[in-house]
Amino acid sequence: MRSVSASVMALVAGCAMLANAQSCPSIHIFGARETTVGPGYGSAGRLVDMIRAANSGATSEAITYPACGGQSSCGGIQYGDSVRQGTAAVASAVNSFHQRCPNAQIVLVGYSQGGQIMDNALCGGPDSGAGISSSTPPISASAINQIRAAIFLGSPRYQYGVASQVGTCRAGGFSARPSGYVCANAAKLRSYCDSQDPYCCNGNDANHHQQYVSIYGQQALTFVNSQLSSGGGGGGGGGGGGGGGGTPSPTCAALWGQCGGQGWQGATCCSQGTCRASNQWYSQCVN
């Protein structure tokens, strides 16, 4: 009887694992909203929708965190506390999903404070304003291997001077990474910021802070799709200041992939199409 019971339990467990695997998407997108916006995706939602529309069967979920900066509308939680909780929430959501669906490709999209918490989760700290001292990313190494692309829009962690940082800003945000810092997973990410922005840069036009999907959405989508089609290069764990970026590609970039730009260390030729400059920081293989 015990033998039969054990066999039945093993069969049930096997069926559960199979059902779980069959319910996993091939691509899953995490989105994180900006400060004071109610639960959901916030301004990250438009880009999340664009990625889902371009990749049939892709699924998505919003990160649950305070998204607050001391305002009564979000419970009065101070900004640093919100960032710390949000960083932990990103890591928990990504790690839990990866445990359920280890073969699924993952995309991160964060807007403003949402970009900061995703930056911390993918690249590690320190982030003194949030009380984060560890340079080790809280997302597991195996989950990071499945993260194909990360898009940060108007993130206060923006710092001018490295290839993964895109836009017209020539300074840094109010919680900027140190000058010269390169995330160990930099090949997977693009962070967008313009000079007019008072949060990710030193500008004075708060309205511009809400325009990144309109300005860079298509460029970001192209990067994400290129990363998904190529399996997402570079990185694979270990945070910490001053770590190297992704390993330079020994072959030509695929169609729609990056092929140049100031500070770019990857491929500078195209296996298909022509390498054309979008700006001084970003060149792309296009038809």
- Predicted confidence at residue 276, as pLDDT, reads 75
- Catalytic: which of 119, 155, 197, 208? 197
Residues of the chain by 3-state class (helix, strand, coil), percent to 5: 35, 15, 45
Is 197 considered catalytic here? yes
- Predicted confidence at residue 272, as pLDDT, reads 72
- Predicted confidence at residue 245, as pLDDT, reads 33
- Predicted confidence at residue 223, as pLDDT, reads 97
- Predicted confidence at residue 53, as pLDDT, reads 98
For residue 229, count other CB atoms closer than 10 A to its CB. Answer: 14
Is 209 considered catalytic here? yes
- Catalytic: which of 112, 175, 249, 283? 112
- What's the rounded Cα separation, in Å, for the pair 224 and 48? 11
How far apart, in Å, are the Cα atoms of 61 and each of 106, 109, 131, 186, 214? 11, 10, 26, 23, 22
User: What is the rounded end-to-end Cα distance, in angstroms, of the chain?
Assistant: 67
- Predicted confidence at residue 255, as pLDDT, reads 67
Helix (H, G, I), strand (E, B) or coil at 283: strand
HEC string of 41-57 equals CHHHHHHHHHHHHHCCC
Alpha-carbon torsion angle 263, 268, 271, 275, nearest 10? 80
> pLDDT digit string (tens) for 41-73?
999 999 999 999 999 999 999 999 999 999 999
β-strands 165-166, 189-192: how paired?
Answer: parallel
- Catalytic: which of 28, 175, 209, 226? 209
Backbone φ and ψ of 286, nearest 5°: -130, 160
Domain map (residue ranges) of the chain: 24-246, 248-287
Q: What is the mean pLDDT of each run of 10 residues along the chain (287 residues)?
A: 51 49 89 98 98 98 98 97 99 98 98 99 98 98 98 98 95 96 96 98 98 98 95 51 34 68 65 70 67
- Predicted confidence at residue 256, as pLDDT, reads 65
- Predicted confidence at residue 250, as pLDDT, reads 39
For residue 135 the two structure tokens come to 């340079």
- Predicted confidence at residue 3, as pLDDT, reads 53
**Fold exhibited by the domain 24-246:** Rossmann fold (3.40.50)
- Predicted confidence at residue 60, as pLDDT, reads 98
Is 205 considered catalytic here? no
